[in-house]
Amino acid sequence: MLVLIGISALIYPGLVDRAPARNRDSGTSSSGTAPIGTTGGESPAIIRELETITGSNDGHELIGRRVDLHVPIQQPINDVAFWIGAGDNRILVVLPSSTSIQAYDGSPVAVSGTIQGLPDPEAMSSWGLTEADREELLQRKIYIRGETAEH
């Protein structure tokens, strides 16, 4: 009798795992975690709040994430580069040279793009940064490569 109970204890978990799907909660996988959707709807990876970026301890975990921000320009550098955010919570936006805007302090802007790690110094030299801008950017270690920016 004890032998039968022992064998049943070994076999039963395998039988339960093979149970038909109708006996399982459709909201979870067999591992007990919720399935991850890959189609339809808006991607949760899009960052819509500046504080998500500036509040990050190490911005490297944000590299590659898409952004869609509606914020005021805090400090324009030129027609393709400007700072958004205030004080120590600023981040640089750099647009392609074919996508320039008239940037003014405080003017609202809608920016779409991706968070990037810093390129080599030669690439950054074309952005027209001052020495103070370069130093601040090197401390932040990330920037937004804008694809579009509109007032």
Residue 57's domain comprises 50-150
The answer as to whether 36 is a domain residue is no
Tens-place pLDDT, residues 80-135: 999 999 888 899 999 998 887 888 888 999 999 999 999 998 889 989 999 999 99
The answer as to whether 23 is a domain residue is no
For residue 130, what is the domain's CATH number? 2.40.50.140
| DSSP-based three-state secondary structure for 34 | coil
Identify the bridge partners of residue 116 per DSSP, sorted by sequence position.
143
- pTM, full prediction: 0.70
| Stretch (H or E) spanning 133 | helix 131-140
- Report the number of distinct structural domains present in the chain: 1
Tens-place pLDDT, residues 44-70: 689 999 999 988 878 899 999 999 999
The answer as to whether 14 is a domain residue is no
Distance CA 149, CA 99 (A): 8
Distance CA 71, CA 44 (A): 20
| DSSP-based three-state secondary structure for 109 | strand
Identify the bridge partners of residue 83 per DSSP, sorted by sequence position.
75, 92
